[in-house]
Chains A and B, each alone.
Chain A
Amino acid sequence: DTAVSQTPKYLVTQMGNDKSIKCEQNLGHDTMYWYKQDSKKFLKIMFSYNNKELIINETVPNRFSPKSPDKAHLNLHINSLELGDSAVYFCASSQASVDTGELFFGEGSRLTVL
């Protein structure tokens, strides 16, 4: 059983489109995250949710909207996609309520905006 699963794994789309990435964790963790990894492999946190409540929102354009319907799911919706949004997006989860614990990562969703 995959602990943190993301879909889709690959996404190719045109500029201006809207797309969503879904994430589910079966670890019973309270906290979930979205990270963005750029072409230079630099990882930056975007959002963090604890028990469906947003706790970290790192200067991300408001075209990006996370949604957590329950504590096992954290989805990322992106409006009006831009070229610079091309990246690998990682979902992660942790048991800790603040970001001091071990994170379990999904395999990533590679978004390519043409």
Chain B
Amino acid sequence: AQSVTQPDIHITVSEGASLELRCNYSYGATPYLFWYVQSPGQGLQLLLKYFSGDTLVQGIKGFEAEFKRSQSSFNLRKPSVHWSDAAEYFCAVALYKLSFGAGTTVTVRA
């Protein structure tokens, strides 16, 4: 069955520390891959996307993600987290339709 998994439900990180959010997918072919962020009370905003080519993609707000075909993963990273990065993060995959993972809540402590 096709699925997208975010293993971490909740991550707490200190301001200034690095952040990595995990995403794994299970599809017959390599889908298009996305990371979205949802700030409290807001809609979702696209952080970055991977269609093909360079497996390290840069996004907005200082985020990057790396596609690893052998691991069926598309992990999101940020070298130094700011308090405003506290939000819900969704990995999504598209193969004829867009399907979202269950999300990872990121809490930033001072």
Contact = CB atoms under 8 A, between A and B. Distances in A.
Interface of A: 4, 40-45, 48, 56, 90, 92, 98-103, 105-108
B63 interface: no
Contact of B46 (A41, A98, A99, A103): A103
Interface of B: 32, 34, 36, 38, 41-46, 49, 88, 90, 94, 96-100, 102-103, 105
Given A41-B103, A42-B103, A43-B90, A99 B43 contact: no
Contacts of A102: 34, 46, 49
Contacts of B94: 99-101
Main secondary structure of the interface of B (DSSP, over half): strand
A35 to B, nearest CB: 8
B62 to A, nearest CB: 19
14 contacts: A41-B88, A41-B103, A42-B102, A43-B90, A43-B103, A45-B98, A92-B44, A99-B98, A103-B44, A103-B98, A107-B41, A107-B42, A108-B41, A108-B42
Main secondary structure of the interface of A (DSSP, over half): loop
Contacts, number: 52
Contacts of B88: 41
Given A41-B103, A42-B103, A45-B97, A106 B32 contact: no
A105 B43 CA distance: 5
Nearest to B98: A99
Given A43-B90, A106-B43, A107-B41, A99 B102 contact: no
